[in-house]
Structure 1
């Protein structure tokens, strides 16, 4: 004799695939609105960006180096690998200010202010340092 089984309730809300597609579309839209390096800064041939993220104790959590060509989207950001789980760093504004002044090198620093993943009141506190070197065409 078969046992009594209740039908599985369908989860309310978007599926995982729909959420994934939505995130991909948002990333594409962000790349389109950011513009390319050559459209924003015609005299800049390329930019080499190095981002290092350190914890409060000084331990290096992440270190990346990216080279932006003239046709690449001008997006300079990194996700926080710290205890917050959702923080991010965006250095596009600081780098664009320096490139508009035609500076060939520069640095920027930002601190993650997102709350801890566990729900504590303290901020994450990870520090991201961005260093860039631009190749500017002679005028």
Structure 2
């Protein structure tokens, strides 16, 4: 039985370092859009479903309000989103893409292909890998609930 802990044997370290490597590949692509990686994720979520609530977006992105609020303020200042109070419940804030925010999507369309190319993997392999990572995340989230 091994009593040693080896860093390279930890799945958490492999995922952590892969995440950093992905962010390094994303950075120059996102710099051309003037977005950080978390801002890009928020925009991708909004491009997929405009009119989400701040709370709903936070759940989707696994972000706390204290992280999400400043990020959204920066996107609003950049002219990409508008925050509006819900007419039904003033405690709820709804996010709407501006025309500029909608146009930004066109500039971002090539990013997923650039990331796939940088990975050196084919689409089938990347889809399988993503499904496995999502399954791992769901299993881990379920184990601490």
Structure with the bigger RCO (C-alpha within 8 Å, sep 6+) is: 1
Whose strand proportion is higher, 1 or 2?
1
Could you state the TM-score of these two structures normalised by the residue count of structure 2? Answer: 0.25
Larger Cα Rg: Structure 1 or Structure 2?
1
Higher helix share goes to which structure? 2
